[in-house]
Structure formats: structure tokens, C-alpha cells
Amino acid sequence: MPDTDELLDCLRSRSAHVRAAALERAVLAALNWHPDDLPLRRLGHCYRELSASILSASAAGGLATGGLGNMSDREAAVIWGVIYGLRSFHVADRILTPTIDFTKGLTEVGGGWGPIALWSALRGGTVRIVEQSAARRSFGASLFSSLGLSADWSGRWRGPSDLGDMQASVWSFSLREMAGDPDAAHRLLLQSLDHLGPDGRIVVMESGARAGSEFLMEVRDRMLKAGVAASAPCWAKGMCPMRAAEDWCHFTWRLGLGPIGQRIAALAGRKAHEVHVSWLSFGRVVEGGGAGRVLAVRSLGKQGLRLTLCRGEGRQVVDVPRKLARSHHAFEEDLVGLNVWVPSAEASFRVRAIDELKVVSDDDVSHGT
């Protein structure tokens, strides 16, 4: 299967461009749809309608949960595959490696066709997907099997036993939709953590708009009160410093759509080059401190980069010589979301220079090293 092997390699690529184009190939192959036969205008129209209903619900502080209009299952699968699901697949690549040990099994809850599960299965992880929509399960099952990957599928959420015998559970853009409010959401997560056991981890991703982030912060407050640590991206034990600054915690990455997704987005008048997300990881490990999470990166030209860090107790701005930053990561935006160790940084708000910038894993931070 040389073609499939090459496709699998591209899906595992660290390059967002390669990954996005590969996912498009995989989605269309699973749907048995030749790229030249795609009704792009129609798909652009469908995406515009769906995106408008999501945005207007979000502006009103709610969520659009239906919104598929008169799209066929196949058309919906393309939109969920090459646009929305691709974004989750991209974000998984940024946040999951340092956050969870997916080799001990992962369940994606409210998984749609399973973009997070796909990310993990591509790396040899055992995966389960809990999804109420038969159409999305059916498309996901075709996609996984056309790639020679396996996954367990189950329907509407019945309770924590649906998580199976896995150590991690990821709720990607689904917790708010499933639980409705932060009280119900935190109960759902507490019961799920009990099921996952002492080493269990839960990662929740929501929209990077204020409403998605506020929802997560409300859930976080309740989890902290219940003695559960929010171990990533933050390890602040009190109020979120971003909230104290009347901002909201979210991350923006330049993780673009593939060529077909870009054409659909252009026809829909939507942007195609960025992903905005708020996320949290919950576990029973409570220690932490010392490092900083990169919230934003701004170029200072030849002077280097200005990083805005969240250090738990507050925000901090540090200027980093370009050479130093580049020695760790090829692209500036790769730094967003990472934990960095800044040894010479004092607790003061502004630090002009640092001796060393070291990227650390979330586990190192959790264990206080």
C-alpha cells in the first residue's frame, strides 16, 4: 500500500500545509469523491450558512448545535472534514504531545468524525470515539478504515463508562454543547476523572472567542474548588491572570486550511489561515510554578521577539533575542502555547533580557522541576 503509507506519513507531518492537504486527500478518498467533481460553490454556500449560524449564536452567548440546513451527509462530511475537523487535528498537534500520554489510550467525547482520535491513532494510540450522530460516526469509520486504522465507536454519551479503559479523554469543542452550563460540565468532568483513575487526564478545547474561554474559566474555578488541578495551559491556583486583566485566555496559531478548504472558505468569505482556541487540561497532579506559558509573540524586528507569558501569578513580558528564539523553533508562532523556562526573569512585570530560553514539557512543570 505505497499510496496509503505516503498519505499516513503526510498526515503525521509537522508541517501544517502538508497535514492539511493530506487530510483533504484522505477525506475525499473515504467519501469516494474526486476533487474535480466537488460542487465548490455549493460547499462555499453551505459553509457560509453554517459559519454564520455558529457566529451569531456565539455573539448571543450561546451555541449553534444544528445548523446543517439542507446539506447532504456527504457535503457535511466535507465541511466537517476539511474545515472544522482539520482545525481540531491541527490543534491536537500543538497541544497534546506535551500534555497527555496518548499511548495509554484516548477517548474523544463528542468526537464528530474523530479528528483528535485520528491524530492519536496515527501515532499508534488506542482510541475510542463517543459520538451521537450516526452520519458522523459512519463517515469517521470509513475514514479510519480507508487509512488502515482502527477505532472503537459508540453513540450518545451514557456516562463515564463510555470512556472505556483509557487514561486520557479529550473533549474537543464538545463539552459546552454536551453539558450546557459550567455546573453540569464540571460534574461531568469530575465523574470522568474518577473513572479514568489517579493518572487520568482530561483535555478540553473550546472556541477561542470570549464566550468559549469564559465557559472554560467557570469550569476551571469549580474544578479547582473540587481539588482538581488545571495543569495546562495554566497552573495558576487562583483567578486566571488574563481574566484579572479583563482579557481572556486563548491562543492563536497560523494553522491554515488545505487547498480545497481555502477555496471553500474564499467562496464563503471566511478566513482560512488561523485557528483560535481556548483549552485546559485537568488532572490530580497539583504542583507547579516557575515556568511561563507563551500567550502571544510579537516581532521586534532585528531586536528579536517579545513574548507575553502567563506565569500563574500574573502576566509577564519578556524580550528574547531572535537568535535564541529561533534556535528552539523554526517559526515564531510555534512558540505560542509552549511552556518556557526563563531562569533570569524576576517576578517583575517587565524583563528586558533573559539568559536562556528553555522549552519544558508540561509534566516537568507539573512536577516542579
Ligand X SMILES: C[S@@+](CC[C@H](N)C(=O)[O-])C[C@H]1O[C@@H](n2cnc3c(N)ncnc32)[C@H](O)[C@@H]1O
For ligand X, the binding residues (CB under 6 A) are 84-85, 88, 108, 110-112, 115, 130-133, 136, 156-157, 172-174, 177-178
Minimum separation from the CB atom of position 164 to ligand X (A)? 14
Q: Please answer whether residues 127 and 151 qualify as being in contact, where contact means their C-beta atoms are separated by less than 8 angstroms.
A: yes
Q: Which is nearer to ligand X, 111 or 312 (CB)?
A: 111
Minimum separation from the CB atom of position 80 to ligand X (A)? 7
Quick one: cell of 111? 468526537
Minimum separation from the CB atom of position 133 to ligand X (A)? 4
Minimum separation from the CB atom of position 9 to ligand X (A)? 23
Q: Please answer whether residues 228 and 193 qualify as being in contact, where contact means their C-beta atoms are separated by less than 8 angstroms.
A: yes
Coil, helix or strand for 256? coil
Q: Could you give the C-alpha distances from 309 to 102, 335, 352, 358, in angstroms and in order?
A: 27, 11, 13, 13
According to DSSP, the residues that pair with 299 across neighbouring strands are 305
* Cα–Cα distance for residue pair 301/320, rounded to 1 Å: 11
DSSP state, residue 80: I
Minimum separation from the CB atom of position 369 to ligand X (A)? 32
According to DSSP, the residues that pair with 297 across neighbouring strands are 307
* Cα–Cα distance for residue pair 366/312, rounded to 1 Å: 12
Q: Which is nearer to ligand X, 84 or 235 (CB)?
A: 84
Q: Which is nearer to ligand X, 173 or 253 (CB)?
A: 173
Minimum separation from the CB atom of position 214 to ligand X (A)? 18
Q: Which is nearer to ligand X, 257 or 297 (CB)?
A: 257
Q: Which string of b and e fits 320-331 if b means at least 16 CB within 10 Å?
A: bbeeebeeeeee
Coil, helix or strand for 166? coil
Minimum separation from the CB atom of position 136 to ligand X (A)? 5
Q: Which is nearer to ligand X, 107 or 339 (CB)?
A: 107
* Cα–Cα distance for residue pair 300/12, rounded to 1 Å: 33
Minimum separation from the CB atom of position 283 to ligand X (A)? 20
Q: Which is nearer to ligand X, 130 or 143 (CB)?
A: 130
Q: Which is nearer to ligand X, 11 or 365 (CB)?
A: 11
Q: Which is nearer to ligand X, 132 or 252 (CB)?
A: 132
Q: Which is nearer to ligand X, 102 or 173 (CB)?
A: 173
Minimum separation from the CB atom of position 355 to ligand X (A)? 40
Q: Please answer whether residues 242 and 248 qualify as being in contact, where contact means their C-beta atoms are separated by less than 8 angstroms.
A: yes
Q: Which string of b and e fits 184-212 if b means at least 16 CB within 10 Å?
A: ebbebbbebbebbeeebbbbbbbbbbebb
CB count in 10 Å sphere of residue 284: 15
* Cα–Cα distance for residue pair 16/87, rounded to 1 Å: 10
CB count in 10 Å sphere of residue 12: 14
